[in-house]
Amino acid sequence: MRILVADDNIALREILTEVVSDAGHTAEAVPSADAALSSIGTFHPDIIILDIDMPNGQGLAFLDKMQNSEPPINIPVVVIRSWGRQVPQDISMVRCRIEKPFTSQDILESINTAKVKETETEEQASIAAKPVETGQTPPSKTLAEKGVSFGSSYVLFQRSSNAVHGLISMFDDEGYNVLIITTKKKKTIIERFRSKNIESLSMSIKLLGGHFNIYGLGTMIERIDEFIMKNGKPVIAFDDLNNIIDRNGMSSALTAVHQLVTKKYGKDTTFLVSVDPTGFTTKDKEILLNHMIYHDLSGE
C-alpha cells in the first residue's frame, strides 16, 4: 500500500516512515497539512497517517478540508494524538486513532484495521448501489455459504488477522457470542467491531519485576472456560496465535489450544485460530489440524 505520513516532528516522521517501509509499504512523508494535501494529488496514497497535534490546528483543518472538498477526499486516515486529545467522531475518513506514546505494532495494526474498515465501507456502498426489486432486501452471505458451521472449529493459516476478523463479523451478524483472544489493545478491538456480542481478552504485555511477561496461559484458559459456560452460543477466536507463541513457546501455546478445543463443555462451541505457519513443523500443524478444520478465505 501507499502510505502518506504527515507529521511536523522530523524524528517521529522518520520513525513512522521506517516502520511503514519495513512492513513492505511505499511511504511518503511530509511536514505539514498543506504539503499533505498537495501530496494526495501526486502520490495517491491508500492510507494517510496524520499527527493531529501539529501546530495551529493543522491536523483538524486538514480533516475538515478532506471532508468538505467537492467531492470529499475519501482516503482512510489513521490519526495519532496525545493522550486525552479529542478528535471529532463525525469525520468518516478517520478509521483509527492511536495515542502517544505508540509502538511499531500499534502503527501496523492500525493500518490493517483502517484497510479492513475501508474494504467493508466499499462493500457496503457496492451493495447499496445495486438495484433491489420492491419488497426485497439485498442478499447477504451466511456462514453456511462460507462453508462454516457452528460447533466445528477452524484454523486459518494466514499472515494477517483480516480473514479471521471476517469470520468473527459473520458469527456476530448471526447472533453468536464471540470472545477474541488477542495481543492487540482492547480499544483496537472495540473500534474494529463495535458489537455488544463481542468481547476481547487482551493478552497484553505487562512489566513485572523489570521483565516483560504476557498474560498467563492458565488464566487465559480459565477466562475462556467462564465465557463458554455463561454464553449459549460461544465462539472463541485467536486472531494472532503467533504473538502468543512468541511469548510462551510453541509447545505451551499449542498445548493450550489443543486442551481448549478438545475439552468437553456439554454444549456446542466453535474455536477459530489464525496463525502464520512459517517455521511450523509438520507435527506442529498436525496438533492444530487433528481437531480443527483447515479453512482458507483468501481465495474468495
How confident is the model over 227-260, as pLDDT tens digits?
999 999 999 999 989 888 877 889 999 999 999 9
Lowest mean pLDDT among 30-34, 82-86, 134-138: 134-138
User: Which whole number is the average pLDDT over 50-65?
Assistant: 86
User: Which whole number is the average pLDDT over 97-121?
Assistant: 78
pLDDT value, residue 211: 40
Q: Is the sign of the CA dihedral 105, 110, 116, 118 positive or negative?
A: negative
User: Which whole number is the average pLDDT over 89-93?
Assistant: 70
User: Which whole number is the average pLDDT over 56-77?
Assistant: 84
User: Which whole number is the average pLDDT over 180-185?
Assistant: 83
pLDDT value, residue 119: 57
CATH superfamily of 2-115: Response regulator (3.40.50.2300)
pLDDT in tens, 188-233: 787 788 888 999 888 765 444 444 444 578 888 999 999 999 999 9
Query: Domain map of the chain by residue range?
Result: 2-115, 144-294
At the topology level, CATH places domain 144-294 in Rossmann fold (3.40.50)
Instruction: Tell me how far CA of residue 250 lies from CA of 202, 212, 226, 243, 256, in angstroms.
Output: 19, 18, 25, 10, 10
pLDDT value, residue 141: 66
pLDDT value, residue 87: 66
Residue 175's contacts (CB-CB under 8 Å, 6 or more residues apart) are 197, 233
- Of the segments 116-120, 153-157, 206-210, 276-280, which one has the largest average pLDDT value? 153-157
> What are the residues facing 48 on neighbouring strands?
4, 77
Alpha helices in 87-143 (DSSP H): 104-129
Question: Contact 233/176 with Cβ under 8 angstroms?
Answer: yes
**Of 67, 68, 63, 39, nearest to 50 (Cα)?**
63
Q: How many CB atoms lie within 10 A of CB 134?
A: 4
pTM of the model: 0.54
Residue 235's contacts (CB-CB under 8 Å, 6 or more residues apart) are 150, 168, 171, 176, 177, 178, 179, 269, 270, 271, 272
Does residue 261 surpass a pLDDT of 90? yes
pLDDT value, residue 140: 54
Residue 244 sits at the vertex; the CA angle it makes with 241 and 246, to the nearest 5 degrees, is 110
Instruction: Give the cell for residue 115.
Output: 484497510
pLDDT value, residue 118: 56
pLDDT value, residue 15: 92
Instruction: Give the cell for residue 166.
Output: 471476517
User: Which whole number is the average pLDDT over 15-41?
Assistant: 91
pLDDT value, residue 131: 53
